[in-house]
Amino acid sequence: MVNGLARYEFSERLADILGESRRDLRFRVTLMVTGGLVPPGPRGRGSPAATPQYAAQLLLGAMAAPQQSQTIEAIRCYADLRPTTVAPGGSTPRVLFGPALPAAGAEQQPVCWLALEGLSFADALAGLLELASGDDTRALVASELFGVWVNRGCPVASLQFSTWWQGRRAVISHNYGLGGDSPPPAWLDPQRGGTADPGLFHAVFLPVRKLIEIGVLTTVTDNRSNPMLNKLGHKVASIAKMAQLAAKTPHGSRWEKLLTALAAVQAWSEQVDRQESRLREVTGFGANPGELRMYEYVPASLPAQAPLVVVLHGCTQSAASYNKGSGWSTLADRHGFALLLPQQQWNNNPLRCFNWFKPEDIERNQGEPESIRQMVEHMLAAYSLDRRRIYVTGTSSGGAMTTVMLATHPDLFAGGAVIAGVPYRAAKGMQEGLETIFQGRNLAPAEWGERVRAASPHQGPWPKLSVWHGDADSAVKPVNAEELIKQWSDLHELPLQPTLEMTVSGYPRRVWLSPAGEEVIESYTVTGMAHGAALDPGPAPHQCGTAAPFFNAVGISSTHRIAEFWGLLAEQPAQEAAAAAGAPAGGEAPAAATAAGQASATRLANDDHAQQQRAASESGDGRRAADAEQGSGARRPFGLDVHGIISASLEAAGLLKSGATASRPSSGAPLGIDVPGIISTALEAAGALKAVSQRGAAATTPAARLQAAGWEGTGWEMLLDDPRAFRGGSMLYGHASSGERGALGPRAHSISRRIELGPRPELSYLRRLDLSAAVNDYTSASFRILIDGIVVDEVTAIGMLHQESEWLRQAGIDLARFANRTVTLTLEVAAYSNIYNSVHASAWVDQVLIENAVDLAPC
């Protein structure tokens, strides 16, 4: 036996987790023994083990039985529930996060990560509890399972999983119901004296967090014959293999250290994947013998015959997380080229590494290289890209696969960049792969070069190559960079000694020139850097990316330098050229929005300045609130700060103390008189300047407060000085309901405001949601954010509750497709009920912020 507790102590702890009385759980255990569901046993130390199967039965008795006396029948009925579907095609999504992305190809069906077919509800629940008890599988349950749902008013239940569905995160409900002619429990069967009691027949939901707490307490035998484990597939099996390999290999300690680091990388990657991605998945690009997934990023202003960059992620990373960390899509926006980001699948590799060491995946015309080639051809045909300017880069296993692509298809690529990678054909098999990354493989340049020449019929010229490696890399030994240089210097028929040596941003750079004087190989040794890519995050033209595990902020951007080495920075797309010249491509706009390299941001709700302005407006003294914040021209007639201009003029003339305009105390003006205020008031009286005091006096109703903040619509209000706000102060609140007082069908409330976007806008905000749609399989409640009627973020609950008890920050929502336009931003809550039973959607929204925008209305 391993882990867990005996039955007696387990029931005590289970009562605490469920919030039930310990006496109630003890009585249910007694009923289970007397009813013959479990064999009797002594209490205390001699109590039998609380196995996952026992825990599943007791949990069903507590969740499904409306009353204690019905425990045995509830367990027997609900334990035998069988998988069912509520709609054609399989399980249906119950909660959707994020907007639907354009689907390529056939309608995608949600896929459960566990094969649950053939398992009863009790078997599936016991299997999940056993997975939750294991150190190697608990993280999978936490990341993939959403919770367990049981309906007492009808013998139905479901296991709800969190997964990707049609381009967005969703909660998928795997449903269970009565099989065949099985009768309902007695309390629901009128022929056996059942009577309806709505007060008892409600649904019960157990979140995954509590299920994991329960699973950890169970006692698991050494016999791993659980049907759930047998059906789990590659993930658990592969993790177990990794652990066994770590113990047996001569490099066990380094391997374990790398696995620990990869766990942190995976956690960050999954966090990024839960957010909206800038990438779009493409299907149907070819035969795909390597079974890879294809993602693309194409800037809105992509010029004709643009270059293409193939970007390969590292182990446990995804296409989206590697793009966010490296910043390649930011560079693509700035300089006008397309991106292709292949993604490995877990069932291909236990750590989602590209298989640079497998013989079937390092040959031309087969495996993963052929899949990537087919993706490239698809991109060339779809976007009329320049076939002469195709490049490939990657980090770690992606860097190793980069060398595979350059060797097997040198006729396809004009250049490559390998970050923390290894030479081509450095290993055959995983064991050799570990030896290569941990200790390196020393061969003569000619031998390395011959391995590349044998990989394809190509005889030259060869792609140019950029090599990056940290000299403190303990995951992939830095000697691999030198061996890679050997390989490619031999191909280019160059000596090992570099032609040029220099220092760039404090780091050594070596360059090998061709006889014609062209830079064909470069090498950066990033001193002091561990495994991963070198970054210089920030808004400047030479900066990009996000610091994260395996993305090291060391003051130099490998992404930017690699693109420069390939010659991709020579041209700018139309909107960037216009921005650099100070004029937007789509017409005139304030320079603050279009100046090249300027990082501007517009808060659309509840900022400190708006709170101060409201406080001043509502104080009744008629005095104009301070408005020194830049970029708030929407609060001024024609975008001009008349008060500020007058104050600055008086300061320049020496008639007003310098700096008084920031806070406008009366002591800052001559003789304590607010001269700018007097002039502003005179202009207001003449009708040349709208009286702010009048607006403030009117902004007392919820609708008036919204209008004063620049929002228009119904069903929403601005809550002032609300302690529930994220940091106190104000927030937006919207509510919609259906099914009440005879109001059926769709009901929606929205508020909107106009905003002018710059060249690279991004949206972020804080929210708390209460979406109550647990009436039937057709009722729904939703919260959406739209730009010009297009959904950019969404949460929809279908037939269930979705409540966010804590503030959730949504960041980095890409609005690039609306760049350089004046758009309408809309917040919407909606509810739908098909019966006279209440369905509602409530949303609390705070700190709405759009980076790179110009505010056209008061906050």
Active site residues: 396
Rg of the chain's alpha carbons, rounded to an integer? Answer: 32
Most distant CA atoms of the chain, gap in Å = 97
User: Rounded to whole angstroms, how far apart are CA atoms 171 and 690?
Assistant: 50
Whole-angstrom Cα distance, residue 380 to residue 305? 9
Q: How far apart are CA 792 and CA 783, in angstroms?
A: 11
62 φ/ψ angles, rounded to the nearest 5 degrees: -75, -35
Cβ atoms of 402 and 417 within 8 Å: the answer is: yes
Closest CA to 625 of 788, 858, 781: 858
- Smallest CA-to-CA distance from 154 within 796, 799, 745 is with 799
In 420-578, beta strands by DSSP E: 464-470, 500-504, 507-513, 519-526, 533-535, 551-553
E strand or H helix at 223: none
The counts of H helices and E strands in the chain are 26, 29
φ, ψ dihedrals at 815, nearest 5°? -115, 25
* Contact partners, residue 775, CB within 8 Å, separation at least 6: 739, 799, 833, 835, 837, 838, 839
69, 186, 517 from 72: Cα distances, Å: 8, 11, 85
Specify which residues 770 forms β-bridges with. Answer: 803, 842
* Residue 768 β-bridge partners: 844
CA dihedral 535, 540, 545, 548 (to 10 degrees): 60
Would you call 180 helix, strand, or coil by DSSP?
A: coil
Beta-sheet strands, E only, within 216-325: 280-282, 293-297, 308-312
In 3D, which of 438, 398, 436 has the Cα closest to residue 417?
398
702 Cβ neighbours under 8 A, 6+ residues apart: 717, 718
Cα 630 vs. chain centroid, distance in angstroms? 32
Residues 6+ apart with CB under 8 A from 805: 768
Contact 319, 310 (CB under 8 A): no
Residues 6+ apart with CB under 8 A from 817: 300
Task: Tell me the Ramachandran region of residue 695: left when phi exceeds 0, alpha when psi lies from -120 to 50, beta otherwise.
Answer: alpha
Q: Look up residue 856 and give its two tokens.
A: 């056209």
In 3-state terms, what secondary structure has residue 572? coil
Q: Residue ranges of the alpha helices (H) in 92-189?
A: 121-133, 138-144
State whether residue 253 is helix, strand or coil: helix
Give which of 480, 487, 488 is closest to 464, Cα–Cα. Answer: 488
CB-count burial class (<10 Å; 0-12, 13-18, 19+) for 284: exposed
Provide the terminal-to-terminal Cα distance of the chain, rounded to the nearest Å.
62
CB atoms under 10 Å from CB of 210, counted, come to: 17
Peptide bond into 410 cis (omega under 30): no
Q: How many CA atoms lie within 13 A of 158 on its CB side?
A: 25
The SS3 assignment for 545 reads: coil
